[in-house]
Structure 1
């Protein structure tokens, strides 16, 4: 790849981050407009049992998560040999079409299908964008490049999701999805204009990509990241009742609490990227230590407003820092299966999100209170740390280290 000016590199990274912003808005905005979706698509049920209608509408969130889990490894395996710029453009267009279909589908069942299809490019986009960003940043700055791409996702939690939720509540949920589709369309244009051409791997085959899963260190890294994000979503999913029932604040404070957590995620993501460039496995241990401390502090201090806000900020900061560290670790241990490993990370994270939300809901349903999900997050951290230790042991021998660490990202 020919040398690029610093301005061109920054613009390319910004284009990739814009796609991450759109993905974050698409993934999380549905949580804020579920009542509107339920009233529009399930009117009879919403009239007779509003809570059941909202719970039924929650299938849309599960359908999106399922699409991420299915699409990430599938697309990555098939597409590893294709030029990466063209692939990113194709995925951005697919996001645009899928989100438009979500906004225009006339029935609940068709919207569910549209959300599943719209999610298929999610993991592949982030995985390929991470590889491109790592190449643009050059040796020694891979983690920072990955973090810059992921920053679009974290910034969406601070700005995009509240704004799109407000739009959906006032102009209808379909208008909210039309705006998200417009963001993806802008991403496609930006990719065409500023992302440089980067070749795929002409020697990539489905067998070789899948072969990455034969490496224990890959599985251990994926599981470690899933448990870390499980701890985050055990808390994130139930921020509203934590704020209103434990801290005894007005529901109007909930968006501010979410913004505090989103700001922590944004800063933590950038911190994790820089830390990963000094050693990915070391960064994983540091970030898990921070997450344990943050969850413990939140559990003890959530009854007071300062403790709630500081705790949510700290949990978001520590958990988001894990993501670029895990992504960089995967690039170290995946060998030739770079595309699959980078994309599969987002499948693992979404599985972790689901596990955290499920276990958090289970302890609440058991009557243990709204602080209990924070303790669930702590419980998930413990096996996460053990898996990270095992991952380090697997790659500790000189032979393993030379085979698994400091692999090129497959871009030139």
Structure 2
């Protein structure tokens, strides 16, 4: 390049604007999540009126905001964002802990949840928020089962037999009714994930809540695939981390390992799974529930589940799966006979209700509406029509 060309280029390049910052998609997501307001379910929403930007003399709207530390996206969310109160219900040998939002009106439904092995009642936190949007009058009850969460027992041994867990769930519902002086149980929809699916089916099959159960739903568990999966359960448990340096690192592991695909759900459902050990300066967080210790009960949970699920009379049945490959022969035949409602979420993982809470809520709300007995309009009785003079007795009719 000649001296004249260099002089010309220098003069023009000095007048060009500075190059833009390099766009970092992960960094941009972190900025957006930090500066948008949190809705009640903990997610950022651009539709929220509180998110409207208002200009002021002190603000520079075109200044790039500082980027927060990436770990903040894994900060825990409080249970109060999703439920109105927590309950401690004392029985003979159990002190059950549950998260609760009461029905808004008499006659409104109560959705009663049961989580899977190793989880807690907060597994249903985001689903509860989503259901509250479409069914604002409904109530929600999500207990920790024994050996999990904050539920404790006075017995020394671990009793997680299916019949024991079913009795515990019925106790929680009845104790809640007594605590709040309900004249009778509201219409109930039972919903259980994995082990919880077997528990709610047991409650419905044994009629532990009498005729209050409108229907029950099972989330991603069927007998055949569950029994098969037990063969690899110990290998899975040995491969996962034994402890975490912090609650946030435990949340991050669940998300990065794709155990949970929904970060917002992980932020509320993972913290109760861990318990702190050691001092603050040398603390670690280990699993609250030792799943290896539950091995003696695994077959008891799932053996006979398909036949029980299909056989309960007078109640609606819902099965939500992450894939049709999980269907066993008995359920395939039952589906062809129209004995239950089947929904498949292929984009979700095992925790379908956590990965897809809004989609699950729409299916569950529709399931309730189709089984709601209060909407049934029965024809008038013949005796009533005769008393009203609208129909003549048979011996007077011509």
Q: Note whether the superposition's TM-score is higher than 0.5.
A: no
Pick the structure with more helix per residue.
1
Q: TM-score, normalised by structure 1?
A: 0.21
